[in-house]
Structure 1
Amino acid sequence: MEPVIIVLIILVVLVFIALIKTIQVIPQASAAIVERFGRYTRTLNAGLNIVVPFIDTIRNRIDLREQVVPFPPQPVITQDNLVVNIDTVIYYQVTDARAATYEVASYIQAIEQLTVTTLRNIIGGMDLERTLTSREEINAALRGVLDEATGKWGIRVNRVELKAIEPPTSIQDSMEKQMRADRDKRAAILTAEGTRQAAILTAEGEKQSQILRAEGEAKAAALRAEGEAQAVRTVFEAIHAGDPDQKLLSYQYLQMLPKIAEGDANKLWIVPSEIGDALKGLSGAMGNFGSLGGGGNSGGATLPAQNKGPATERREKPSID
């Protein structure tokens, strides 16, 4: 019985191994290359697949998802003979597992070398300034060349990015100095523009202030003139209403003479010709007042007797106008 059990155990093990070899489970977004006696037979897609055990073999399993491969910095010479180091990143995807397996030995290494040579050809036709400012142009040109060359390998290059473009140290120092000078220039321009704008605003403010001050003074002068005119009209109306005689007006004029003489600029007095007659009338009035104060009729004018009847009094209305 023991040899039979051993044979059964061996058969079970062989059957188990055959089942494992027969059933192949391929993950999603993957593919497997099957060879029979060293020759390509078919490509296994995602899911459960059956192969002939001990005859069919899995040559390669390939990831069909988009992959990212960063490449180390590569020294590249520009058109103006300057060496720059450029870091690149390639986004690619395997579209044909059979071609990626049999058309090229290592598609990763092939893509890297093709990227370096293509990048040198593109940068060699540009100067440093254009290289630093034309990333999109370089990316598009590099992607076009790589996509065309890798198509027969079953590879599609989706995107190419330049991570960094590093010029020589001396060029970096010169660029930094130039950028610093440009920043200082822009700062000086902004400062001058701000000062100019502030001066303009200050001048506009002073102009507006002077205009408002002049308008205020003009309104104040107009109000003062209007007030003085109203005062003159009031005095004129009061004089006409009081009906004063020439003697009272002469007395008022004499009272105003000291005030007229107060000003420093008053060096010349203009005396009207009628002032002599007014002063004569005033002196006569003052003489009458003196006679009344001395008492009696001796040596002075006598008071007129009081009339029994109504007396006719004649007054001369002074000419004011």
Structure 2
Amino acid sequence: MSAALIVLILIAVLAIVVVSMTVKIVPQARSGIVERFGKYRTTLSAGLNIVVPFIDKVRYVIDLREQVVSFPPQPVITEDNLVVSIDTVIYFQVTDPVAATYEIANYIQAIEQLTMTTLRNITGGMTLEHALTSRDQINSGLRGELDSATGKWGIRVNRVELKGIDPPPSIIDAMEQQMRAERNKRAAILTAEGERQSAILTAEGDKQSAILTAEGQRQAQILTAQADRQAQILRAQGEAQAIQTVFQAIHDGNPDQKLLSYQYLQMLPKIAEGDNATTWIIPAELTKALGTLGGTVGKIPVDGGGSKTRIDFDAPIEDDGAADTSATNEAVQEALDAAKAAENPATSAADVPSQEEPPPPPPGAPQG
């Protein structure tokens, strides 16, 4: 190989090296930190960049995208002296590549330690129950503390999330027992409340039933009394008319002494028909007594002028209680309405008459 060829090869290699050291390509959403003789010179943006070869050097390439870092669980002591394990997730973004490079040696480790200490400070002022129910409060407190502390590092903390808060197993068992006891308490309260409502409704139903039963008995007694009254009136009227009829028939027939003696003899066997009439004594003076009785009867005027009141045998019997028929029908209708209302007491509680103010009795009913 000739010397000229070797020289050309060396020049080509040197040219390639110089071009590679001069032209720098920075990917999208990244920044390059350029140092000249170990000192910061400039920041390269995304795209094609030119630097001085052998003098300038791209020391770091910083990722400007939002990054997610998950930290392992950390033991934290709560206000009630219980140790819980809390693991967190941090969402952050580099806003100043120069500060992130020269203000902090390892910003990932710094964020982790800062998160652990801040989490212990916040959770140490809370009880376990408060910490379990206040994740949003812990997240916002962590984010505020981390964002203010990492601002000088050129880092912005966008979001902090707690992945889990794990109490000790004994505390978990105690919490489960407490929850079961609370549920049993609520179930017992609901059961007692249901029984109370059931007893109230049952007593109310018994009360309404007793009221309706008493009202029905009252109406029935009123109707029975009215029926007995009408029956007694009708019987008395019938007996009166029967007596008047017999009295008129006797006077119209003009009976003599023989007829009266014959009627007397017919009544004697009926006197002896009693259960206690085991012995019947006929006096010897029976004929004389009959004669005397006949003589006495004979002295009665045969024609005494007839009956004072003439009875029309063909006239119908008057019913003085017809005026009370409408009142009786109204009372029956009220009793039927009360029975229907008892079948469905939920329709209207106002339809049932109260015990303090009973409804007025129907017309014609006995007072008191």
What TM-score comes out, normalization by structure 1 length? 0.65
The answer for the alignment partner of 1:36 in structure 2 is 36
In structure 2, the CA distance between the partners of 1:318 and 1:198, relative to structure 1 (3 Å rule), is: closer
Matches within 5 A, 1:195-214: none
Which structure 1 residue ranges, 4+ long, deviate > 6 Å from structure 2?
Answer: 198-215, 280-284
The answer for the alignment partner of 2:3 in structure 1 is 3
Q: Which amino acid aligns with 1:105?
A: A
In structure 2, the CA distance between the partners of 1:31 and 1:272, relative to structure 1 (3 Å rule), is: same
The answer for the alignment partner of 1:276 in structure 2 is 243
The answer for the alignment partner of 2:347 in structure 1 is none
Distance 2:187 2:157 in 1: 45
Gap runs ≥5 in structure 1:
222-255, 258-268, 285-313
Q: 1:74: Cα distance to partner?
A: 0.8
Matches within 5 A, 1:39-50: 39-50=39-50
Matches within 5 A, 1:50-69: 50-69=50-69
What TM-score comes out, normalization by structure 2 length? 0.57
Q: 1:192: Cα distance to partner?
A: 4.2
The answer for the alignment partner of 1:304 in structure 2 is none
Distance 2:32 2:194 in 1: 71
* Equivalences, count: 250
The answer for the alignment partner of 2:161 in structure 1 is 161
Q: Which amino acid aligns with 1:172?
A: I
In structure 2, the CA distance between the partners of 1:208 and 1:142, relative to structure 1 (3 Å rule), is: same
In structure 2, the CA distance between the partners of 1:211 and 1:19, relative to structure 1 (3 Å rule), is: farther
| Identical counterparts, % of pairs | 65
The answer for the alignment partner of 2:134 in structure 1 is 134
Q: Which amino acid aligns with 2:53?
A: P
Distance 1:212 1:93 in 2: 82
Task: Map Cα deviations across residues 75-119 of structure 1 (whole Å, 9 max, x no partner).
Answer: 112222221111111111111101111111100001111111112
The answer for the alignment partner of 2:117 in structure 1 is 117
Q: 1:145: Cα distance to partner?
A: 1.4
Distance 1:270 1:133 in 2: 94
The answer for the alignment partner of 2:17 in structure 1 is 17
Matches within 5 A, 1:1-321: 2-194=2-194, 272-278=239-245, 316=312, 317-318=315-316, 320=318
Q: 1:271: Cα distance to partner?
A: 5.7
Q: 1:199: Cα distance to partner?
A: 6.5
Is 2:244–2:311's contact at 8 Å kept on the other side of the alignment?
no
Distance 2:6 2:150 in 1: 55
Distance 2:14 2:195 in 1: 94
Q: 1:319: Cα distance to partner?
A: 5.3
Distance 2:104 2:181 in 1: 52
Task: Map Cα deviations across residues 233-266 of structure 1 (whole Å, 9 max, x no partner).
Answer: xxxxxxxxxxxxxxxxxxxxxxx99xxxxxxxxx
Is 2:245–2:311's contact at 8 Å kept on the other side of the alignment?
no
Distance 1:86 1:65 in 2: 26
In structure 2, the CA distance between the partners of 1:279 and 1:21, relative to structure 1 (3 Å rule), is: farther
